[in-house]
Each structure stands twice: as structure tokens, then as C-alpha cells.
Amino acid sequence: MSNANVKPATGKLGVMVVGLGAVSSTFITGVLMARKGLAKPVGSMTQYDKIRVGQGEDKKYLQYKDIVPLADLNDIVFAAWDVYPANAFESAINAEVLKEKDILPVKDELEKIVPLKAAFDHNYAARLDGDNVKTVKDRWDMTEQIREDIRNFKKEAGVDRVVVLWAASTEIYVPVDEKIHYRLADLEAAMKADDKEHIAPSMCYAYAALAEGAPFIMGAPNTTVDIPAMWELAEKTGMPIAGKDFKTGQTLVKSGFAPIIGTRCLGLSGWFSTNILGNRDGLVLDEPANFRTKEVSKLSTLESILVPEEQPDLYTDYYHKVRINYYPPRNDNKEGWDNIDIFGWMGYPMQIKINFLCRDSILAAPLCLDLVLLSDLAARAGRHGTQRFLSFFLKSPMHDYTKGEVPVNHLFQQYVMLKNAIREMGGYPADETID
């Protein structure tokens, strides 16, 4: 059963990644290795997950590609922007995430991915000091130059479609300002006036992508597309947007474990989360203004799963704290500790400890692949604006806060949203409800 409303995935899909650091180089290397049959894309829903379609006698469990027309891994062409001039091979080696033996077989392909000059403002990531940076007159010029990069890549690489994925560092926190971020006209005026305080470089990438007919995915907790002006642009251009912040380690655990506490009707006194990590992400987050952006994203998960108003006896006064500590020896292998204080029958206290020794880029790479393929699918299905069905992959899912919408952070409810969207795009009815 196919849905004629979804355009087929013909031709090549260009994936333009902002930032060629640990996450991107691991993602790109893994895709190139997987299509040579030299590695497995473990952790990728689009490559492994099966969804039930139909009911009763018509029930089948199918992979995504058998329900909807997904781009094939062989059709992906990569490009990137970065403040450092190292090509994708050098970057993958420097990141020290993958062993050399898992990079060398695709060395030739990786070396050809040379980063374009980044649109960069040192004030937004003070710890980064690369010089592979565009010279720009103002934020509008910055945007125009990125648009030109996208057009040139399309032409030179011969790709039919482009998706732009932000996998760069977390910028300093930009609070949403109604006078600038609520209307597209105001946002454009601020860009033209070179309002550096309210217009982050990431907003220039997002604007450029949408204006060039490319879906945009925000993989960091930046405010970038999480503003009404960008929603307006996404509607105007008919493009999907998704964000924010890849849900890889600790927050994935939180969004999957908090439902255990809630479903079992146990009480929560406090949840203390701390992280140690090295790599460039840790370095940038060591700056308080950048950490603030991340903190807002990581704190938002719990409050919409264990809701005080719904269960005042159980969730009224719990204390929720998130800490991130830069610890260079660990590099990309971050460690998340969750210390959870719960209470049970008659208020007696108990504790849960979760220690996740994860590899950040190994968990993020499959999310990049899924978000890229599903955003491209959404664009071909004519879905525009915020793609709530992609919340499963994101720490702090976008939502219309101007109308008081509460995002779904419960992992298993997010999974239902994902499955229903795939079913609908495949011409099947959405047949699971989120209670």
C-alpha cells in the first residue's frame, strides 16, 4: 500500500552538516563504511526498526523503507562547514572516537569532504578559535553567503535535494525576544541591521536552508528554529524543521526511566544528574553562557513526564538538578550519573542510581542519519513547520509555547508519534493513541 502523496526519493540527497567535529565525522564515516558493507548502522531506527502496519489478519511488521520511500544510503552526498579547515578524514582521526582501522577504508571519500568556510561569531562560542571563517558585512550577508554555498553544492555535486543538519557546538543562550523573534519581517530587519545580540549565526544557517528549500535540523539546544519567525518561514517555504538537541545519553535514559516511576505511581523527591565529558562539546559547555543553553534543554524533560498538577501527592516538590563538567581525559566517552531519590508506600524513601558510560558520537551518529532521512521524507510528503514526530530523537522537542503547548517528552509516547507519522506517510491509518 503506497501513498501517492509522498514524492519518491529519486536522485541524490545532499547532506550539508554545520560543524565537522566528533559527531559529524563519526556520522559520515559510519554511513560511508555501512554502504561498503564494512560496518553496521547500529542504533539507527530507519535502518533497523520495524513498525506494525494494519491490524488483525492484515497485520505486518515492516521496516521504514518498506512503508515509505526513504533515501538510500548509497544516494547520500556529504558536505560541511567548519571553523577549522581539517577535512573529514583528518577530523575523524583527530576526534579519536573511531579507531583508525574503521576510518582508513573510506579515507579517499573522507578526504574529499573539505569544509566550507563557516559563518561564525566568536562571541557565540568563545572557546573556539578556528580561522576557516567567512568575512561578512552583516548577518544578512552571512545568510546570503550560506545560501550561495547551498546552491553551489547542489550544482557541483549534482544533488536533487539538500538537508542541512546542525551538529556544531552549543551557542550562548539567546532568550526569545518578542520584538525580534516572533515575526519573520522583524527577524529579517534585525538580520539586515546586523543585530548580533539577537541573531545567532545558527539562525543564519537555518534561514538560508529554508530559503533554499532545504529542511533544517537543530542538533544543539540553540534557540535557532524554536522561534515563531522561523515557524513562519518554514510555512512560507513549505519546509520541515526539527529540533532541538540530539537526545543521546542521559536525557534518553531520563525520558525512558521517568515513565517507570510515573507508571508505577511512585513518588519523586529529587533527581540529580551530572555529566563528565571531554571533546569540543565539553570545552564549549565549560563556558557558563553556553552551558545555560544546554541546561534549559536538559531540565525540560522531566517536568512534562512527572507532572505535579496531575499527581500532587507524588510530584509536588521534587528537586531537579543538572550538571555538566568538562573533563578532558574522557574525550568523547562521557559519563552520566543519575541519582534519583524516590519514595514509596507510606512515604518511605528509596534510591535509584544509573551510571551510563556512553560514547557521545556513537549515540549521536545514528540520530543524525535518522533525522536527515526522516526530514527529507517529510519534505517530500509536503509536511512543513515543526515536525513533532521527530521528538523521539530530541532532548527538548520544539513546540508552540506561544499557545501554551506542552511538548511530549515521554519516550514511549514519542515513539507512538513517530510510528503514526510513518504509517500516515505510507498510506496507512495512524492507529495508536497517546493516552
Q: What is the C-alpha to C-alpha distance for residues 158 and 155, in angstroms, rounded to an integer? A: 5
Residue-number span of the structural domain to which 38 is assigned: 13-246+361-425
Q: Which one is predicted more confidently, 18 or 278?
A: 18
pTM of the model: 0.94
Our count of domains for the chain comes to 2
Q: Within this chain, do residues 237 and 263 fall inside the same structural domain, yes or no?
A: no
What pLDDT, in 10s, does the model give residues 106-115?
Answer: 999 999 999 9
Which of 357, 381, 397 marks a domain boundary? 357
Residue 105 belongs to a domain with what CATH number?
A: 3.40.50.720
Q: Within this chain, do residues 225 and 127 fall inside the same structural domain, yes or no?
A: yes
Q: What is the C-alpha to C-alpha distance for residues 210 and 241, in angstroms, rounded to an integer? A: 8
Is pLDDT of 294 > 80? no
pLDDT at 279: 74
Is pLDDT of 1 > 50? no
Q: Within this chain, do residues 235 and 350 fall inside the same structural domain, yes or no?
A: no
Let me know: does 239 contact 213? Beta carbons within 8 Å.
Answer: yes
Q: What is the mean pLDDT of the chain?
A: 94
Is pLDDT of 304 > 70? yes
| 173: phi then psi, degrees, rounded to nearest 5 | -70, 125
Q: What is the C-alpha to C-alpha distance for residues 213 and 379, in angstroms, rounded to an integer? A: 9
Q: Within this chain, do residues 202 and 320 fall inside the same structural domain, yes or no?
A: no
Is pLDDT of 249 > 80? yes
Q: What single string gives the DSSP state of each residue in 319-331? A: EEEEEEEE-GGGT
Q: Within this chain, do residues 222 and 288 fall inside the same structural domain, yes or no?
A: no
Q: Could you give the maximum distance between any two Cα atoms of the chain, in Å?
A: 68
Q: Within this chain, do residues 55 and 165 fall inside the same structural domain, yes or no?
A: yes
In a domain, 2, yes or no: no
Q: Within this chain, do residues 291 and 183 fall inside the same structural domain, yes or no?
A: no
Q: What single string gives the DSSP state of each residue in 137-170? A: SSHHHHHHHHHHHHHHHHHHHT-SEEEEEE-SPP
Q: Express as a percent the part of the chain with pLDDT over 90.
A: 86
pLDDT at 63: 98
In a domain, 435, yes or no: no
Residue 324 belongs to a domain with what CATH number?
A: 3.30.360.10
Q: For the residues 245-252, what does the mean pLDDT come to?
A: 90
Q: Within this chain, do residues 349 and 379 fall inside the same structural domain, yes or no?
A: no
| 342: phi then psi, degrees, rounded to nearest 5 | -115, 170
Q: Within this chain, do residues 224 and 304 fall inside the same structural domain, yes or no?
A: no
Q: Within this chain, do residues 268 and 169 fall inside the same structural domain, yes or no?
A: no
Let me know: does 300 contact 253? Beta carbons within 8 Å.
Answer: no
Q: What is the C-alpha to C-alpha distance for residues 290 and 172, in angstroms, rounded to an integer? A: 4
Q: Within this chain, do residues 256 and 165 fall inside the same structural domain, yes or no?
A: no
What pLDDT, in 10s, does the model give residues 90-102?
Answer: 999 999 999 999 9
In a domain, 433, yes or no: no
Grid look-up 543521546 returns: 248
Q: What is the C-alpha to C-alpha distance for residues 220 and 297, in angstroms, rounded to an integer? A: 9
The CA–CA distances, whole Å, from 282 to 112, 129, 131, 277, 360 equal 28, 15, 21, 6, 11
pLDDT at 284: 80
pLDDT at 297: 67
Q: What is the C-alpha to C-alpha distance for residues 254 and 178, in angstroms, rounded to an integer? A: 32
Let me know: does 284 contact 130? Beta carbons within 8 Å.
Answer: no
- Bridge partner residues of 323 (DSSP): 274
In this structure, how many other beta carbons lie within 10 angstroms of the beta carbon of residue 295? Answer: 18
pLDDT at 285: 77
Which of 307, 323, 357 marks a domain boundary? 357
Which of 357, 375, 407 marks a domain boundary? 357
Q: Within this chain, do residues 171 and 84 fall inside the same structural domain, yes or no?
A: yes
SS3 76: strand
Is pLDDT of 2 > 70? no
What pLDDT, in 10s, does the model give residues 171-227?
Answer: 999 999 999 999 999 999 999 999 999 999 999 999 999 999 999 999 999 999 999
Q: For the residues 239-257, what does the mean pLDDT come to?
A: 93
